[in-house]
Structure 1
């Protein structure tokens, strides 16, 4: 078996209508499908929900569930808020900068543009408290080749030491030379 692509990624939302309107307005996603049931199809548990699907481009679907009978949404307090996020690729750094300005004009706090050497990103939160990243690739073929060449070695070193391996330290340490 070989996975073809992500069919959809689902998150919980506080309010279905607010969530759809926010993603349509701020990230230009198309609202493609809504499913609502009184019972969970897989378990038959009585739990009404609204399941929303938004097109994140190229067949990638971002989905949400509003669960009105469940306790208020929280987040994993043992995980820093910067860890759990969804990242969307955009076409250019100019798009990042333009989107940042537009989001800030709408009153949305934005972090970045953050330089990760092989891509640049901005970060912000949706109305449900989910962290969203927009990223524009800027790396060279040599950079991607160098990262590919050391990925298994880095993983093994991390597995043994639980310390950050240094094979790709050039990505965030600008005093080190990036692969040419």
Structure 2
């Protein structure tokens, strides 16, 4: 969109809650190789001034991306939105190839963590598992062609418009499912 008054330069950081800051930092370093870079700890929330001690930790997710967590010891035990399925809210990280994805799966499983996948999404493949806080983590590698990505961009608005009217899955990108079925030897 040109002429918009805001020009974004990417995501500065995404922040989630954790049960234990140290455990979380150590888990992300051991399981995903993320470097712990920064921490802020305050007794009062800078934006609101309210008393709510916290530890805010930051991890390097690669390519200038930062993942952050808050430990909030004075708040009720953390939970999750019971009305949203566990598979919906997740952190997805990119890996460079299918080989890297399979190596990552083996590494994560060696850590004693259950892994689902690889799941074929037509233009990318993913594996899924949970961190010690109950956050779902996805590792994904892109496998699509430039033409496939261009077609998905072309049908994005018609799909959104149809979904808004019907609340049923639009069929504009059924070819993605066909790609996955063929790889797994299933018939359409």
- 1:101-140 correspondence to structure 2 within 5 Å: 101-140=106-145
Contact 1:170–1:176 (CA<8 Å) still a contact in 2? Answer: no
Q: CA 1:46–1:175 in structure 2 vs 1: closer, same or farther (change >3 Å)? A: closer
Contact 1:120–1:138 (CA<8 Å) still a contact in 2? Answer: yes
What's the secondary structure of 1:127's corresponding residue? coil
RMSD: 1.3
Deviations along 1:3-58, whole A, 9 cap, x unmatched?
11000000000000000000011101110101000000000110000000000011
Say whether residues 1:146 and 2:131 are aligned partners.
Answer: no
Inter-partner Cα distance in structure 1 for 2:180 and 2:26: 44
Would you identify which runs of 4 or more consecutive aligned residues in structure 1 move more than 3 Å? 173-177
Q: CA 1:176–1:170 in structure 2 vs 1: closer, same or farther (change >3 Å)? A: farther
Residue 173 of structure 1: CA displacement? 3.3
Inter-partner Cα distance in structure 1 for 2:166 and 2:69: 38
Inter-partner Cα distance in structure 2 for 1:127 and 1:45: 28
**Residue 6 of structure 1 is aligned with which of 7, 11, 23?**
11
Matched residue, 1:72: 77
Contact 2:126–2:139 (CA<8 Å) still a contact in 1? Answer: yes
TM-score by length of 1: 0.95
Matched positions, count? 177
Q: CA 1:151–1:70 in structure 2 vs 1: closer, same or farther (change >3 Å)? A: same
Contact 2:121–2:180 (CA<8 Å) still a contact in 1? Answer: no
- 1:1-180 correspondence to structure 2 within 5 Å: 1-174=6-179
Inter-partner Cα distance in structure 2 for 1:175 and 1:24: 32
Inter-partner Cα distance in structure 1 for 2:76 and 2:43: 17
In the alignment, structure 2 segments of 5+ residues that lack a partner are: 1-5, 183-188
What's the secondary structure of 2:43's corresponding residue? strand
Inter-partner Cα distance in structure 2 for 1:145 and 1:47: 47
Q: CA 1:72–1:176 in structure 2 vs 1: closer, same or farther (change >3 Å)? A: closer
